[in-house]
Amino acid sequence: MHSLKTHALNRTAELVAEAGTLLTALASDSNSPLAIQEAAPQAIALLFGAPLDAIRNPVARRLASGGITHVMAQIGRDDLGAAFRAGVNILVATQYAKVADYLRLCKSIELPDEKPYTTTAIDQLFDDPKFDVPMKEHEEAPDLYVKGYDGEIIALSRRSFAVRFSQEMLKDDTIGASGHVLQSFVILAARREQRAFFSKIVANPTLVDGRAVFNSTDDNDLGPAATLSLTTLGDGFGKMARMKSKVGNELGTVPAFLVVSPEKKVLAMSLVKQLTIDGTPASLDVLVSTEIPAASTGWYLFADPEIAPVGVFGTLRFNKGRTLIVRERIDFRTSSPMVAFDHVFGTAVVSRVGVVRGGV
């Protein structure tokens, strides 16, 4: 009995290994149903404007070259809706990365619903006010104090919109009009978020402590005379490094982003190239905001949001961190399939630690 059981276990292991090998071979076969099914969403994303460098799957590229009719013929009309929805979400991700630069400056949070939430507990700073005091013998380690920064209240807003296509337009779209329409909706949503966040920064809102984000008391405002230059950038680096925690410890935070108006982009990029340490360029990315007026000389330094989050962008928890999602099932068995979006997001300034302003 024991030998029979051992033989059965060994044979089972062999069958599992063989099945795994067959599945791997099937997935690597570009003509297999499994490979085509997996590549279909990426092919849809390519058809509607996702950049080629974002989709490197050769099966997806081959499917896309035949158009929507070819994709439908390969995977079937009933499966096209799911592939289309997944493909549009890929398109959303690639377009947002190009348009919504503000996401790089903010920390992402998920809220369970659309009610307003204070930001008190979003960012917590663990700091020990007695970190440099030698411990006495048998003395317990000092407690870590949890200090939450009190910023604006974040509330999510929702906007739904939809675009309806005819089957004929999708099948015979030789000029890519349907893709341009979808991209326009996606870019519109990304720009809406971009404006919402940067308009807050430029407006210099008042936080819970009664002081504006930029003020002389907290020493993160260089003033209107500090127009963008190597000298003022150096001053900004110093101001950020000297920022203090709630218990008074200097944080030594380093700027990661320089935000300027479109008119100052070339100047900003030129200055950043001159910031080198032992021949290595400084790690400072230049971002542009049209919310900064053309005539303004204002500029802003931001820290890495993982180290010192100044702003947050909120999404609904079930949206998995996305602010724009495809809302409804897309049924391609109808004569006029519809793509419906839900745009749910909120932005808030939660701390002034990690941002410095100059030229305003």
The Cα–Cα gap between 205 and 202 comes to 8
Tokens of residue 29, six digits:
């076969």
Closest Cα partner for 108 from 329, 328, 311, 360?
311
Strands 124-127 and 145-148: antiparallel
The Cα–Cα gap between 288 and 292 comes to 9
pLDDT at 62: 87
**8 Å CB contact between 328 and 311:** no
pLDDT at 147: 44
The Cα–Cα gap between 270 and 218 comes to 29
Indicate the DSSP class of residue 222: -
Q: At 359, which helix (H) or strand (E)?
A: none
How would you label 33-46 residue by residue, b for 16+ Cβ within 10 Å and e otherwise? Answer: eebbbebbbbbbbb
How would you label 223-245 residue by residue, b for 16+ Cβ within 10 Å and e otherwise? Answer: eeebebeeebbebbbebbeebeb
For residue 160, CA distances in Å to 82, 339, 340 come to 20, 11, 7
Closest Cα partner for 323 from 54, 111, 83, 180?
111
pLDDT at 122: 44
pLDDT at 135: 54
pLDDT at 16: 67
Q: Which residues of the chain have pLDDT under 50?
A: 1, 26-27, 121-125, 141-147
The Cα–Cα gap between 167 and 316 comes to 33
Q: At 255, which helix (H) or strand (E)?
A: strand 255-260
Model confidence pLDDT, tens digit, residues 172-210: 666 567 777 888 888 888 999 999 999 999 999 999 889
pTM over 0.85: no
Strands 145-148 and 355-358: unpaired
CA dihedral 228, 234, 237, 243 (to 10 degrees): -100
Closest Cα partner for 105 from 305, 289, 255, 268?
305
Cα 147 to the chain's mean position, in Å? 26
